[in-house]
Chains A and B, each alone.
Chain A
Amino acid sequence: MTAARFQIRSVSIEGFKGFTNPQTITFTKKHAFLFGKNFSGKSSIVEAIRWCLFGLAERPEREVRNAYYASGECQVTLELQASEGLWHVQRRLRPGADRSRLSITNPSGQDMPQSQVFPFLARMGPKEGTHIIFAAQQASGRHPQADISDFHKVLYSHLHIEEVPDLLERMDRLLEEQESVREDAAQQIDGIEESLKNKLEGVNLSLAELLRNPPWGESAIPTRAESEARISNLALEMSKIANKSMAPETEPLRLIEQIERWAAELANTSREELTKSLDAQQDKVNILRKLLQTIHEAEKSQTETEESIKQLSQELNEVYRGKTLEELGAEITLLNGQVKETDAKLSIARQTEEYCEAYVPNGCPACLTDCTADELLEKVKHNMEQATPQQIALAKNLEDLKARCGKASELNTRLKDLETKARTAEEEQSNAIAKIHTTLEVLNSSKLDEKDISSHLAAIENSVETLRNGLSSAESLFSQWKRRADSLRTEFRFHQYREQQQNLQWQLTTGLQPIRQDFQGLVELEESMRKIKEVLTRIFNEVIDRALPPLSNMMTEVYCRLTGQPSFEKVEVQRTDGVMGQSLQVRVGSNRIPGQLHSPEDVLNGQAISALQLVPYFVFSQFQAESLELDLLLIDDPSQSFDTSHVEFLLQELATAGSHAQLVVATHEEERFGPQLDKYFPKGEFELVRFREFDPDKGPSFVIE
């Protein structure tokens, strides 16, 4: 059996797990058995050696630091004996750091990479380190499991087949990565194809729409050259009408735009001119109609006023009764004098009557004529009786005269107003006629009667109609040009659609061909990879399936030696295909019931499970002994649930493994292990490390024997 290159000579621990200050355990013999009660620190040594070699891959490394030694270092150093001298492997977790650092120095003190010094260990990693038995104490309440899923790499390595799963895994990863890349490319190509199809559908629809009512009607479909000639001819025609020069070799659609511009310019110009003339003539018509209305209204007003004047004059004559207004005034003055005189006489008579009645005179006090008072009184009464009717008649005459005068005055005022109105109407009429002269641009001296004006108006209205017709003709002509241009555009578009249709059809078939070919090349490479992967997987599985029965037999042998199981004496390793590739699972069964296999934890007791846990380590350590740089079996409390006889079976297996491997075994069962060691291990090949008290401040204390 080939000896491993290295052997552990010492382990120095500081600030790791239960350790505080630096302590060193030197292994002077090949194997070491660490005895001590639970929580005495022996497991910390096993874990320290494992951590130094592999670190903690799946958990935060902060967990290994002794929390009560936070200010100090956390480091483990292994001294490895090799033929050329002592090597040092050190793992250090700096304060505050999350990950530890490994350094390896050769006997000359040079740093060396792990992959170069421990290629096998580096390749396997902590999970597959089967030669490192780490059947650690199980946490209470947790069922131990016989898990060999971490051992497949060891098996592959032993079979010299590890390249195959590695290749499969890498191909798998590549194909998985490629899937999204290919899907993206496929989507892009589909997108282009979809877009081309949509465009083609659009063009097909446009063509169908155009062909429902083609501009060439029932005639044969024109060629592109014919359509271009028609466009060119219309452009030439329009350029002459519009008096424009035509640019040579203008593209057909541009020519059509040019035609439309010229037609629009022509239409605009004639539209503007005609509209201007039309507006002017229309204004004239409106003005003339308004002036004519003014003349009619003035004439009517004048006639009515003259009639009123005539009536008023008659009425005034009746009021005057052949007299003038001045004569009537003189009569009023005269009557006013008479009325005053009569009033004075009557006043005197009344005063005389009062005098006679008061003084009874005997003569007239005015003329001093002798008469009696009665005579005088009678005379006065007589005069008074005569004066009253006269006075009434005078007053009536006066009232009558005054009324006549008032009426005459009022009628005169109204007459004057009517005369003013008549003059105004006459003036308006004259003004309107003057304006008509101006509007018709006729000399003021020319006489225009209503007939003449109506005749002029009719002529202007005729010209308005003519202008309207002209405008309509201009619009119609423009529409005609526009229709011809539109028709030619549609005709030309037909050729364009046809060309687009042919181009899109070509792109969809021939144009996309290079992309499809390139994509096909990519797909074919992936398909080839898949096919190779499939064949490789099939053969690989066949090989593993062939290798598993002898492996199962080997495991059964070790398991039976360890346990002497009467009920489930058969161990079988099965291959399962998982998401992350293959894995191996342990099942147990019995030759008495062929074909039935069980999960160990379902049918085995604690001791059998503990034994089964150790089986893969013993079996696989045989596989790799020849390739190991460091053939080491680290065992922590392997005899849990073992009775004394089974501890012996275990020691037997350990002795077998110890023939090639260095053993570091930690157990709290010194009384069962100790007495048996000499029986299975030659003296001088092992030493005992006894753990005493554990002090949280100082760490574990131990003696080496």
Chain B
Amino acid sequence: LRQDLFKDCDSAYVFEQVRRLLESGESRSLWRRIESELRDGGVGAVETYLRSSLKELTQQVNDSVARFQERMKE
């Protein structure tokens, strides 16, 4: 009875809906990656992946800035 009361209220349902709503674009491919991380290592793995992606891109920006400033000094 309780299963009927709380039907389609689990993570799988939520993730399926997100997949459906994010049909295209960057967020769609990011979501695919998040789902893959969720399957492999759970929420912790997703956080690790997102944190490292943000860090990598931030570092990339900082490196580009540093290279530009170095070039300007010359």
* A interface residues, Cβ below 8 angstroms from B: 158-164, 166-167, 170-171, 174, 178, 181-182, 185, 188-189, 192, 507, 511-512, 514-515, 518-519, 521-522, 524-529, 531-532, 535-536, 539-540, 543-544, 546-547, 550
Question: What band does the interface of chain B fall in when counting residues whose beta carbon is under 8 Å from A?
Answer: 35 or more
Apart from A543-B8, A543-B9, A550-B5: 18 A-B pairs, beta carbons within 8 A: A161-B14, A162-B11, A163-B42, A170-B43, A174-B51, A181-B54, A185-B65, A192-B68, A515-B61, A518-B61, A521-B60, A529-B30, A531-B27, A532-B31, A532-B34, A539-B21, A543-B14, A547-B9
Q: Is the CB of B57 within 8 A of A518?
A: yes
Verify A525–B54 contact, CB threshold 8 A: yes
Encoded as 1 (CB less than 8 Å from any A CB) or 0, chain B from 23 to 60 comes to: 00111001100100010001100110011011001101
* Nearest Cβ on chain B to A572's Cβ, whole angstroms: 16
Knowing A189-B65, A532-B18 are in contact, say whether A522-B10 is a contact too (CB < 8 A).
no
A-B contact count (CB 8 A): 119
CA distance A70 to B10 in the complex (A): 50
Q: Is the CB of B18 within 8 A of A158?
A: no
Do A164 and B64 touch (CB < 8 A)?
no
Interface residue from A158, A532, A543 paired with B27 (Cβ < 8 Å): A532
Question: Interface majority SS on A: helix, strand, loop or mixed?
Answer: helix
In the bound complex, residues from chain B placing their C-beta under 8 Å from that of A524 are 26
In chain A, what residue has the closest Cβ to B34?
A: A532
Main secondary structure of the interface of B (DSSP, over half): helix
Chain B residue with the shortest CB-CB distance to A547: B9
Query: Is there contact, CB below 8 Å, between A535 and B6?
Result: no
Closest to B26 in A: A528
| Cα separation A697 to B45 with both chains bound (whole Å) | 53
A424 to chain B, nearest CB (A): 84
Give the residues in chain B near A521, CB-CB below 8 Å: 57, 60
8 pairs of A and B residues whose beta carbons are closest in the complex:
A528-B27, A550-B5, A522-B57, A160-B10, A515-B64, A531-B27, A528-B30, A170-B47
Contact between A174 and B47, CB atoms less than 8 A apart: yes
A519, A525, A532, A540: the one contacting B53 at CB < 8 Å is A525
Given that A527-B26, A536-B18 are contacting pairs, would A188 and B65 also be in contact in the complex, using a CB cutoff of 8 Å? yes
Contact indicator per residue, chain B 63-74, by CB within 8 Å of chain A (1) or not (0): 011001101100
B54 adjacent to A543 (CB under 8 Å) = no
Q: How far is the CA of A178 from the CA of B9 in the complex (A)?
A: 31
A511–B70 Cα distance when bound, in Å, is 12
Residues A178 and B18 in contact in the complex (CB < 8 Å), given A161-B11, A528-B30, A546-B9: no
Mask, B1-25, CB within 8 Å of A = 1, is 0000110111111110110011001
Chain B residues with Cβ below 8 Å from A160 are 10-12
Contact residue among A161, A163, A531, A532 (Cβ-Cβ distance under 8 Å from B43): A163
The one of B47, B54, B72 that contacts A507, using a Cβ cutoff of 8 Å: B72
- 18 pairs, A vs B, C-beta closer than 8 Å: A159-B9, A160-B10, A161-B10, A161-B14, A163-B42, A167-B34, A167-B43, A174-B51, A188-B65, A192-B69, A511-B68, A514-B64, A515-B65, A518-B60, A522-B60, A528-B27, A535-B21, A544-B9
